[in-house]
Amino acid sequence: MSAVQIVLIAALVIYAIGRRFTGQPVGARSMLIPVALTGYGLYTLVGSTHGRFSVADIALVASELALGVIAGLGRGATIRLYLRDGHLWQRYTVATLLVWIAMIAVRLGFGYAGHAMGATLSVAGVSMLTFGASLVVESLLVAWRAAATGAPLLPNPSRRRTMAGIR
C-alpha cells in the first residue's frame, strides 16, 4: 500500500468518525461517502487482480465483508438519535467508538491471516471495501431506526447552513 493510500484511508476514517461524533442530521447524504468508498474498494480490488481471485483472496474478502456488516450493525445500533431544531440528528457514542476500535483490530488480524494463507489482494482495496460496506450498513440501520421514530428529517442539510456553519 502506498503512502498516499494510507493517508487517504486514515483521513477518510478520521473525517467520518469526527463528523459523526459532532453530530449531523440524519438523511440520504450520509450514504454518499460509504457508497463511494465501497465502489472505490471494488474498483481497486478488481484492478489489482485483473479479475482473478484465488481461494484465499475470496475467503479474505468474504470474511472482511462479514466483519464490515457486523461492525456496521453494531455501530448503527449504538448511534444516538435525537431531535435538534425540530429534525432528527445522529451522534456517535462511546460504544460506537468501541465498535470502531474492535473492527479495526479484527480487520488487521484478518489481513495478516489472509496474507499468511496466500491472499494477494490490495490492502487498500480490501480496507476501502470493508470500511465502505460497514458504513453503508450503519447508514441503512440508522435510516431504519430514524424512520421508526416518525421524527421529521432535514430535507437538505446543506441549505440550512451558512458559510460559517452557524444556523
**pLDDT averaged over 10-residue windows placed end to end, the chain, 167 residues:** 74 81 81 83 78 83 93 97 92 95 90 83 81 92 93 66 45
pLDDT at 16: 76
Residue at 161 is within a domain: no
Please check whether residue 28 lies inside any domain of the structure.
yes
Residues 6+ apart with CB under 8 A from 149: 81, 88
In a domain, 35, yes or no: yes
Query: Does residue 88 belong to any structural domain of this protein?
Result: yes
Grid-cell match 468518525, residue found: 17
Which grid cell is 111?
489481513
Closest CA to 61 of 1, 139, 120, 135: 120
Is 157 inside a domain boundary?
no
Is 162 inside a domain boundary?
Answer: no
Instruction: Give the chain's domain count.
Output: 1
Determine the structural domain holding residue 57 and report its residue range: 3-150
Q: How far is CA 4 from CA 89, 140, 155, in A?
A: 33, 30, 35
Is residue 143 domain-resident?
yes
pLDDT score recorded for residue 162 = 45
Those residues with Cβ within 8 angstroms of residue 73's Cβ, 6 or more apart along the chain or in another chain: 137, 138, 141
The number of residues in the chain equals 167
Q: Residue 167: its pLDDT value, please?
A: 43
CA 15 to mean position of chain CA atoms: 11
Q: Where are the alpha helices (DSSP H) in the chain?
A: 3-22, 32-49, 55-78, 94-116, 123-149
Residue 15 is assigned to a structural domain of this protein: yes
Place of cell 489472509: 114
